[in-house]
A and B are shown apart, each in its own frame.
Chain A
Amino acid sequence: MTPALRITGLHFAYPDGREALRGVDLTLAPGERVALLGPNGAGKTTLVLHLNGILHGGAGQVEISGMPVTPGDRKAITEIRRRVGVVFQDPDDQLFMPTVAEDVAFGPANLGVRGDELAARVDEALAAVGMSEHRDHVPHHLSFGQRRRVAVATVLAMRPEILVLDEPSSNLDPASRRELAEIIESLPVTVLMVTHDLPYALELCPRSVILDAGRIVADGPTATLLTDRELMAGHRLELPFGFDPASVPHRH
């Protein structure tokens, strides 16, 4: 089966010479949910921006469902950006249109979807995150958790094959955090979730990878990684006080 995502030997250095990625290899099977863990500055966001060709120029290759990311080819990159839906950390960065519905329509409209089909996409995406009754609201007047859900909808409306979530649980109250988890679990797509929230990773993702200093340093079942004290300490990963991954019942 063609992997949903295959990264081979990916390198990247910023113009100031700082090396962010030093040979990343990662493969995701279709339908998998994988957490991308790592300390601040490990290169997580840099890696995410490579998945849809926004950053490029180093050695190595990224393939989305068998299609290589070729930043020079405008047509191909549009298709890549349809396949890879990135939900950014700050919903105020993602939601820039005056109303919720217009923002959700932005992505599919860029893909050439128009008229009734566009309206149907917007309805479907808003329904998937339980925000249908807020379609004509101003993003600024929604709660933070609602804005994050709308941000997910803006990407779902493009019918992506891979959903990339950057810190999905940050700044959410526990109820919003749980609601978002339920939404993510209900989606039939491959998920790559960048997070510092280790219990969230354990709850949602059977598999985790640890990125540190621009390399994948560990890849395995989330529970196994989180209980490996030496590995965790070696990469500045710490569990919240009182949280013991071994005591959590297996969900998967």
Chain B
Amino acid sequence: MAAGHAHPLHLDRESPIHRLSPEVKIVSMLLFTVLVVVTPRTEFAAFGGYALLLAGVAAIARVPPGWLAKRATIELPFVLLAIALPLAGQGERVDWLGLSLSVDGLYGAWNIFAKGTLGVLASLLLAATTTMRDLILGLDRLRCPEVLTQIMTFMLRYIDVLADDARRMRIARLARGYDPRFLWQVKAFAVGVGALFLRSYERGERVYLAMLSRGYTGRLPQTTGGPAPAREWVVSAMLPLATAGIALAAVVLA
């Protein structure tokens, strides 16, 4: 679906991975992440293997490494936490560049860093190759409760309308000389948020009336397009299978 949802996490490219049905990508990403998380933290080679697998997926999906790296910075707060662990950790210590580091803390930091990074990269790859709309469709086909997918669908449609409302209200405030520089000037902003909530609430009611007028009975009609063909499931199963293979090899050979 070339829906053109301008979204900073989506990369509109032509690739075999972009063409896969959303539900197979979601399941594949989820299995990959679970396997990464259950791998013992001392299996360093296994994590290297996982990273290579993701690099392969990124290459097939034609997602540039720089693009991924920039968006992976969302992980930074966790990395900072991880850096603190070796310094604050208990037990046996090693000296490194004049710093006394806890061995257990170092392992803990590595654990967070490696698993976190792999998980974030996998999610980014999913987002890069799947539009928001398709993600919701995929969740729907995976039997995610309809209430949740409906809420997400509405959010997807109205988030921009809401942002526009907020922008217009802000411009109208600025036009009347509002120049929020100090904390006590925040009142107008807070009132604006309240007004925005009321507006959205009323819009919700009008949308519902308009839906009723078109025969809405409480269930959204089934969206067109069948479930993913078996071939796609097989193709996308390769990532979790390869991951499981690496994990097994690492544990058996160790």
Interface residues of A (CB under 8 A from B): 49, 52, 54, 74, 78, 81-82, 84-86, 88, 90, 92-99, 102, 105-107, 109-111, 114-115, 118-119, 136-141, 154-155, 158
The residue of chain B having its C-beta at the shortest distance from the C-beta of A52 within the complex is B213
For this complex, 7 residue pairs linking A to B, each with C-beta atoms less than 8 Å apart, are A85-B213, A94-B207, A98-B153, A98-B157, A114-B222, A118-B224, A155-B214
B207 contacts A93, C-beta separation under 8 Å: yes
| Residues of A contacting B242 in the complex (Cβ-Cβ under 8 angstroms) | none
A88: B residues at CB distance < 8 A: 206, 209-210, 213
Residue of A with least CB distance to B154: A96
Complex Cα spacing A106 to B215, Å: 9
Contact A92 B3 (CB under 8 A): no
Q: A97-B153, A138-B5 are in contact. Are A154 and B209 (CB under 8 A)?
A: no
Interface contact B4-A54, CB-CB below 8 Å:
no
Chain B residue nearest to A154 (CB atoms) is B214
State the Cβ distance, B237 to closest chain A Cβ, in Å.
29
7 cross-chain pairs, A with B, having the tightest CB-CB distances, nearest first: A109-B221, A110-B215, A107-B214, A93-B206, A140-B160, A86-B213, A94-B210
Chain B interface secondary structure, helix, strand, loop or mixed?
A: helix
Q: Is the CB of B214 within 8 A of A136?
A: no
- Asked if B214 contacts A96 (CB within 8 A), the reply is no
In the bound complex, CA of A94 to CA of B224 (Å)? 21
Q: Are A81 and B161 in contact (CB under 8 A)?
A: no
CB pair A137 B213 closer than 8 Å = no
Are the C-beta atoms of B209 and A158 separated by less than 8 Å? no
Chain B interface residues (CB < 8 Å from chain A): 1-5, 132-133, 153-154, 156-158, 160-161, 203, 206-207, 209-217, 220-224
Using known A-B contacts A110-B221, A118-B224, A139-B157, determine if residue A93 contacts B3 with beta carbons closer than 8 Å. Answer: no
Task: Please tell me if the beta carbons of A106 and B214 are within 8 angstroms of each other in the complex.
Answer: yes
Q: Is the CB of B203 within 8 A of A93?
A: yes
Known: A136-B1, A136-B2, A140-B157. A93 touches B210 (CB 8 A): yes
A105 to B224 CA separation, bound complex (whole angstroms): 10
Q: How far is the CB of B173 from chain A (nearest CB, A)?
A: 22
**Chain A residues whose CB sits within 8 angstroms of the CB of B156 once the complex forms:** 98
Contacts of B206 in A (CB 8 A): 88, 90, 93
* Interface pair A99/B3, CB less than 8 Å apart: yes
Q: Which residues from B are CB-within-8-Å of A102?
A: 223
CA distance A94 to B158 in the complex (A): 12
Q: How far is the CA of A250 from the CA of B64 in the complex (A)?
A: 65
Contacts of B213 in A (CB 8 A): 52, 54, 81, 84-86, 88
Distance in Å: Cβ of B121 to nearest Cβ of chain A: 27
A138-B158 Cα distance, complex, nearest whole Å: 11
Instruction: For A119, list chain B residues within 8 Å (CB).
Output: 224
Please name the residue on chain A nearest to B223 by beta carbon.
A102
Q: Are B211 and A96 in contact (CB under 8 A)?
A: yes
Contact partners of B4 in chain A: CB under 8 A = 136-138, 141
Chain B residues with CB under 8 A of A106: 211, 214, 216, 220-221
A184 to B213: give the CA distance in the assembly, Å: 20
Closest to B204 in A: A93
Inter-chain contacts of B224 with A (CB < 8 A): 105, 115, 118-119
Q: Given contacts A93-B207, A96-B157, A137-B4, is CB(A54)–CB(B212) below 8 Å?
A: yes
In the complex the two chains form, is B203's CB within 8 Å of A105's CB? no
Would A110 and B133 count as touching, CB distance under 8 A?
A: no
Give the distance in Å from the alpha carbon of A49 to the alpha carbon of B224 in the complex: 30
Contact with A82, one of B5, B215, B216 (Cβ below 8 angstroms): B215
In the bound complex, do residue A98 and residue B215 qualify as a contact, i.e. CB atoms below 8 Å apart? no
Residue pair A110, B157 in contact (C-beta under 8 Å): no
List, in ascending order, chain B residues with CB within 8 A of A155's CB. Answer: 214
Write the nearest CB–CB distance from B66 to chain A, whole angstroms. Answer: 28
Interface centre among B1, B4, B5, B212 (most CB of A within 10 A): B212
* B164 closest partner in A (C-beta): A140
Within 8 Å CB of B216, what residues of A? 106, 110
